[in-house]
Structure 1
Amino acid sequence: MSEPAQTAMTLDDLYRLPDNELLYELVNGWLVSEPPPGVRHGRVAGRIVAILDACVRQHGAGVVVTCDTGFVLHRSPDTVRAPDVAFIRMDRYLAMEDDADAMPGPPDLAVEVLSPGNRPQEIHAKVADYLAAGTTLVWVVDPQTEQVRSYRSLFEPQIHAGTDLLTAEDLLPEFSVPVADIFSI
């Protein structure tokens, strides 16, 4: 007896899932789940939210959101990614419904904070998805090495560490922070 064909999940299917401890994303119609990433990850992501949000709010540049916000990067099959931290320009945010299940389109800035369980090909795929969908800038933050890889292109990341200044030039000209500040306690 043959098994029934599996059909790709949609954005609507994703948001009908029951709440539990896992974080979900939808990649080309397939459900991907991750366990909660841990304390160091949460501390670093929280620090990035605080630093980024202070600048964004001071200049009215847009909105900073956390991994609770999904971004529809592709439809049919649906890809919905939820970066650890994201920035959306104000004009784009105001053009959408505040109570929508997910943000239509990519974030302007996506931040992925690595956790010990992340595999390099998994992070590479996320960066590729964001950039292909139109994200301007992706930061991949490594709490273990205390480095940030900054992507505007998939093949030419810039590596920042220590006293190097992390910026988001064309998105947030006012934003600049020493990389070490992201990892400080």
Structure 2
Amino acid sequence: MTTTRHYTIDDLAAIEEPGRYDLIRGELLKMPPAGGDHSEIGVNLIYLLWGHVRRDEVGRVYGPDAGFLLARDPDVLLSPDAAFVRNDRLPPSGGRQGFLPLAPDVAVEIVSPSDRASAVDAKVAEYLRAGTQLVLVVQPELRSIAVWTPDQRARVYREADEIDFGDVLPGFRLRVSDVFA
């Protein structure tokens, strides 16, 4: 009989192998380095989000090194490729040293060639369960973005489309073509 180890947030500190990890209900997922296209898309998204957020001073934008602790026991820790959190939901500045103990308002996952569809789906479900309002799943090979909302529905946007972030990030419209520029 084989038993599967269930990891916790505390176990992450003891891992000696360098790299990025996500933790979904006790399952540890190592995130292999992504390619250049993945990185460029991530930088484009962060730049576009940051420009709007900074101008209007409505929150903070995070990159792939930020961990969001979405649930405890079993633990869920995800590090989206980009994320946005409104000012009124941010912990005090002293509480942002470690993992952020909340769900981002917007989470972006860029699909890599090594990603399993089931793993991406699991992340989307965890974000939505924790209260994320918009989850963007970027498909570089298809040059499209699926936007998931709390009602568990997705809408797919193509390069000619614009994504309106509505009440989540008022006034922000993302041209899909800019993401892949």
Same fold (TM over 0.5): yes
The one-letter amino acid of 1:181's match is: D
Partner in structure 1 of residue 40 of structure 2: 43
- Which structure: greater strand fraction? 1
| Aligned CA distance change for structure 1 residues 6 and 180 (closer, same or farther; 3 Å) | closer
What TM-score do the two structures reach when normalised by structure 1?
A: 0.90
Which of 5, 11, 18 lines up with 2:9 in the alignment? 11
Partner in structure 2 of residue 170 of structure 1: 167
Structure 2 contact 132–150 (Cα < 8 Å) conserved: no
The one-letter amino acid of 1:31's match is: L
| 1:180 positional shift | 0.5
1:131 lines up with 2:128 in the alignment = yes
| 1:40 positional shift | 0.5
- Unpaired segments ≥5 residues, structure 2: none
Residues in 1 aligned to 2:116 and 2:88: alpha-carbon distance in whole angstroms: 35
What TM-score do the two structures reach when normalised by structure 2?
A: 0.92
The one-letter amino acid of 1:174's match is: G
Partner in structure 2 of residue 160 of structure 1: 157
| 1:96 positional shift | 5.7
Which of 109, 117, 124 lines up with 1:112 in the alignment? 109
Identity across matched positions, percent: 34
The one-letter amino acid of 2:147's match is: S
C-alpha deviations, 1:130-185, integer Å up to 9, x for none?
Answer: 0001111100011111100000046420111122111211111111121111100x
| 1:98 positional shift | 4.5
Partner in structure 2 of residue 182 of structure 1: 179
Which of 140, 145, 164 lines up with 1:143 in the alignment? 140
| Aligned CA distance change for structure 1 residues 6 and 163 (closer, same or farther; 3 Å) | closer
Partner in structure 1 of residue 61 of structure 2: 64
| 1:10 positional shift | 2.0
The one-letter amino acid of 1:151's match is: W
Residues in 2 aligned to 1:133 and 1:26: alpha-carbon distance in whole angstroms: 14
Q: How many equivalent pairs are there?
A: 181
Cα RMSD over matched residues? 1.9
